[in-house]
Structure 1
Amino acid sequence: MKHTTFTLVGGMLLSGVCGAAAAQSNVSVYGMVDAGVAYSSNQKGNSNTYLRSGSKDGARLGFKGTEDLGNGLKALFQLEAGFNLDDGTAAQSGSLFNRAAFVGLSDKRLGTLTAGRQYAPYFTFLNPLGPVPVVTGATGAHPGDIDGFDITVRNNNSIKYMSPEWRGAAFGLMVASGEQAGHQGSGSAMSAALKYDVANWRYALGYQVLKNGPLQATWDPSSSSSFSKSPINTGYLSAREVQYLAAAVHYQQGALGLGGSLSNVQYRPNASSRFADTAIFNTAAVRSTWQTGTPWLLGAGYAYTRATSANGISDRASYRQLSLMQSYWLSKRTVIYILEANQKARGKTLASNGVTQIDAVAVVGDSQVGTPSSNGSQNVFTVGLRHSF
C-alpha cells in the first residue's frame, strides 16, 4: 500500500530553565476504495445481484503516525475508519474509527506497547498466513469466519505488547477489559501468539479467549470483543466464553505460494447459557497463489469446517468451501478482481434459541453472514475494482 506522507516539523517552546526543544513526526493518510458487482445464488431463498463494497479489501480511511523520541524510542498512533462505498455509511453503526484506534510507544530493543481498539496477536500473526491475502475475506474466509482469520474480531479497551523480531521469531500478548462496574470479570479478552520465519517458510501459532458480558441471553454488546455472527454459530452466542486455538504455515518458492491451517473454536456454556454442552468447530484449510508472468495473480483456497457431536446433535454440521480469485494489477495500487466461491453445508446445528435443532445452511466466507442460503448450498460470484492510496 502506498501512503501519502506529510512531514510535520514542530518546535515546542518551554519557558524559563526548560529552554526549547524540537521533535519530528510523520503522519500518513491512507485508504482503500473497493466496489464490485456481486451475485449470490441463494440469499434466504432467492438469488440476488447487487453492488457490494469491500469484496476484496474493506473500504477504509486511516491516519497513522510516529514521532521519534530519541534513543530508538518512538511514539505512534493509528486511527482507521471503515465505510461502505456503495452508500457512504459507516461500516459499523455508531462507531467512527471502527477498524482501529490506538496509541503507544515503540522501542527497537524492547518492542511495542499500544492501547485502544485493536486486533489481537492471534490475528496479527495468523491473518497473513490464512485465506484473506489469497482469496479475500468476502469469499475466502473460512465459513462464517468461524475461526477469526479475517478482520471480524476487534478488541476495545485493550493493551497489546508485540516483541521485536529476533532471528525470525516474535511473540505478542494482549488483554482487554469489559470495564463494567460490578462485573470486572465479564466481557474481557486475552490473546497470545507467536511466529517464526525462516528461509522460504513462515509459521504462526495463536490463542485467544473472548468472554461474554453479564447480559448473556446472547453475546453482550458491552463485551470488549466482537466477532462474526452467522447461522453457523448463532445457537451458541449465549456462551460464557469463546476460545480460539489455531496454527498456520506458508511456503513461498518464487511465484508459487502454498499454505495450510488448522483451528479449533469452542463455545463454552455456563448455567446462564441456552445450550448445555461445549460446541466445538474444527477447521482444516489449504491455500495457494501463483503470480503468473503477466499482471494476473491467481489464488485458490479450500476449507472444511466440522462441528463435534453435542447438545443432542448426532448428525453434526459440516461446511465445505472452495474459493477462487483472479486479480489483474493495472498498477501497484489499482486492481481488477474476479471472485468465485461455492459452499456446501450438511448436518444439523442449533437455532438462535440455543435449543431447537435445524438444518445447517451455507454461509460463504464472511460476506454472507447476514444473507445466508436457505439451504445447504450457496454460490457467490463477484467482479470488482479496488484502488489504494
Structure 2
Amino acid sequence: MKKTLIASAVLGIVSLAVHAQSHVTVYGLVDTGLIKETGRDVRMGNNIESRLGFKGTEALGNGNQAFFVLEKRFNLNDGTLGTAWDHDDYTHRRNADWQGPALVGLSGDWGAVSLGRVVNLTVENYSRIDPFGQYSVASGLSAYYFLRTELLSNAVRYDSPVWKGVSFGASYTLGADSRDNLLADGDDYNDGYNLSVKYDNGPVLAMANYNRLADSNNSYTWNLGGAYTFGDATVSLGYEKNRDKSLGDSMDFDTWIAGLKYRIGRGTVNASYNRADIDDGAYNGHANKYALGYTYDLSRRTSLYGIVAFTDYHDEHGAWYFGNRQNAPGKYDDSVTGLQIGITHRF
C-alpha cells in the first residue's frame, strides 16, 4: 500500500514537472553588405534587417500551449536599432523599442491568438509574392506606401487552423484615445482591423488581404496575389490598392508585381517587374521597376547575394513618392540604378 502511494506521488510530481515544462529558443539573423545607388555614395546596408529574438512555448495539456515572441532588430554595420516605426499621429512618429514582434498568446487545435505587437497579415502574406520579400534595393514598390507598417502595436491577432491548404486570419488594433488631443478629428484615431484568407497547398499559393490601419483617418490597403511552382521555378503575380486619407484628401497608391524565382543547384535566381501609379487629386504619376538577383547558399544558414535594380520615374514628384527620397528637393533623378552585394547568416 505504501509503495503504491509513493509510486502514485512520484508519478504525479513527474507529471506536473512535464506539464509545466517550457521550451525557449534564441534565434536571429545577421546581414550586411555594400550598396551603390545613382546619386549616392557607396554605403553599407542590409538585404534583410538583422535581428535577435527569443521565442518559447509551454505545454498546457489537451493540445494547448502558451507562447511568446520578443524580437529586436538592428543595423549590423553600425549597431544602431532598426527603423520599424509605430504611427502616433501624422506629424510625429515614435520608434518602437522592440522593432519586431513582441507578443504573448495561446494556441491549440482551434488556432492561435496573439496579443501585443503582432505582424500585419496584409504585409506578411503579400511579401511572399515578391521574389525579394520586399527587402533590398529590389524591393517591390508597394513597400513605399507612406502608411505601410509590418508590425501592428496594441493588437490582437487570430490565426485559424489549416483545412486542406485553406486558412484565414484576423487582427484588431486599438487606436489612440482622441481625448488625448483636443484638436483631433474623431476619425483621426480610428481603430484598425486586418482580414486575410489564403490557400497554400502544393504548387499553388493564392491570397486576399485587407487592412484598415489604426490612427489613419480610416486609410486602408487591400491586395490579391498568387504564385505557382513547377519544378525549380516559381512564378507570382499580385496587385495592391492603397487609399490614404491620413491628410484629409484621398490619395490612391496602386501597385502591380510579376515575379520569378528559379532554383539552380545551390543558387536561386530572382527577378521581378513592378509598376506603381499614384493619384492624389492634384498629381498623377507612375514608376516602373525592374530587378534581378542571385543568391548562393554556402550552407543551410549562410548565403551570399548580388542584386541589381533599375527604377524609372515619371518625374521628380514620382521619384519622391516612389522611394527616391534621399535627395533634397530639386535634385531628384529621373531614374535610379541600385547595386547590392552582401552576406546573410541565420542562427
| TM-score bin, normalised by smaller chain | 0.7 to 0.9
Counting only pairs closer than 5 Å after superposition, residues 122-141 of structure 1 correspond to structure 2 as 122-133=122-133, 137-141=135-139
C-alpha offsets along residues 348-378 of structure 1, whole Å, 9 cap, x if unaligned? Answer: xxxxxxxxxx7321677x7x65568712211
1:288 is matched with which residue: 252, 260, 283? 260
The answer on 1:375 being equivalent to 2:333 is yes
How do residues 49-198 of structure 1 correspond to structure 2 at under 5 angstroms?
A: 49-52=42-45, 54-55=46-47, 57-92=48-83, 95-108=96-109, 110-133=110-133, 137-143=135-141, 145-146=143-144, 152-180=149-177, 182=179, 186-198=189-201
CA-based RMSD of the aligned residues comes to 2.6
SS of the residue aligned with 2:136? helix
CA shift for structure 1 position 94? 5.1
**Paired AA for residue 114 in structure 1:** S
2:213 is paired with a residue of what secondary structure? strand
Gaps of 5+ in 1: 1-17, 213-238, 348-357
One-letter code of the match for 1:141?
A: S
Assess, with a 3 A threshold, how the Cα gap between structure 1 residues 147 and 162 changes in structure 2: closer, same or farther.
Answer: farther
Cα offsets for 1:152-177 (capped at 9, x unmatched): 43211000001000111000010111
* Alpha-carbon distance, 1:41 to partner: 0.9
TM-superposed deviation, 1:141: 2.3
User: Are 2:223 and 1:258 aligned?
Assistant: no
Max Rg structure: 2
The CA deviation string for residues 188-221 of structure 1, in whole angstroms up to 9 with x for no partner, is 3210001012331110100001133xxxxxxxxx
| Alpha-carbon distance between aligned partners in 2 of 1:326 and 1:342, rounded to the nearest angstrom | 16
Aligned to 1:200: 203
Q: 1:199 to 1:143 in 2, by over 3 A?
A: closer
Structure 1 residue 296: Cα displacement: 1.8
Return the letter of the residue paired with 1:21.
Answer: L
2:321 and 2:264 mapped to 1: Cα distance? 31
Q: TM-score, normalised by structure 1?
A: 0.75
Q: Distance in 2 between matches of 1:280 and 1:383?
A: 34
Per the alignment, residue 9 of structure 1 pairs with none
Specify which structure has the higher proportion of helix: 2
| 8 Å Cα contact 1:336/1:386 also seen in 2 | yes
Listed one character per residue, the Cα deviations across residues 279-333 of structure 1 (whole Å, up to 9, x for unaligned) are: 112111100011113x22110011000123x4233xx110100111111110011
Counterpart in 1 of 2:271?
Answer: 300
Equivalent position to 1:48, from 21, 26, 41: 41
Change (3 A) 1:346 1:291: same
Structure 2 residues not aligned, in runs of 5+: 1-12, 84-93, 181-185
Q: Is 1:346 matched with 2:323?
A: no
User: Is the contact made by 1:147 and 1:244 (CA closer than 8 Å) also made in structure 2?
Assistant: no
Determine the structure 2 residue equivalent to 1:229.
Answer: none
Paired residues of 1:175 and 1:188 also in contact (CA < 8 A): yes
Mapping for residues 241-256 of structure 1, pairs under 5 Å:
241-256=218-233
Question: Could you tell me whether the CA contact under 8 Å between 2:131 and 2:270 is conserved in 1?
Answer: no
For 1:15, the equivalent position in structure 2 comes to: none
Code of the residue aligned with 1:360 in structure 2: it is: G
Q: Contact 1:123 / 1:148 at 8 angstroms: preserved in 2?
A: no
- Give the distance between the partners of 1:254 and 1:20, measured in 2 at CA: 47
* Aligned sequence identity (%): 24
Q: CA deviation at 1:245?
A: 0.7
Structure of greater relative contact order (alpha carbons < 8 Å, 6+ residues apart) = 1
Q: Which amino acid aligns with 2:254?
A: N
Please tell me whether the aligned partners of residues 319 and 325 of structure 2 are also in contact (alpha carbons under 8 angstroms). no
Deviating 4+ runs (over 6 angstroms): none
Stretch of structure 1 that moved more, 172-181 or 22-31:
172-181
Q: 1:137 is paired with a residue of what secondary structure?
A: coil
CA contact (8 A) 1:60 1:83 kept: yes
Distance 2:346 2:267 in 1: 18
Contact 1:249 1:259 in 2 (8 A): yes
1:343–1:362 Cα contact (<8 Å) kept: no
Which amino acid is the alignment partner of residue 29 of structure 1?
Answer: V
Shift of 1:143: 2.2
How many residue pairs match? The answer is: 315
3-state SS of the aligned residue for 1:132?
A: coil
Following the alignment from structure 2 to structure 1, what is the Cα–Cα distance between the partners of residues 23 and 138?
A: 35
Change (3 A) 1:123 1:359: closer
Contact 1:341–1:379 at 8 Å: present in 2 too?
A: yes
TM-score by length of 2: 0.83
> SS of 1:33's equivalent?
strand
Q: Whole-Å Cα distance in 2 between the matches of residues 124 and 208 of structure 1?
A: 12
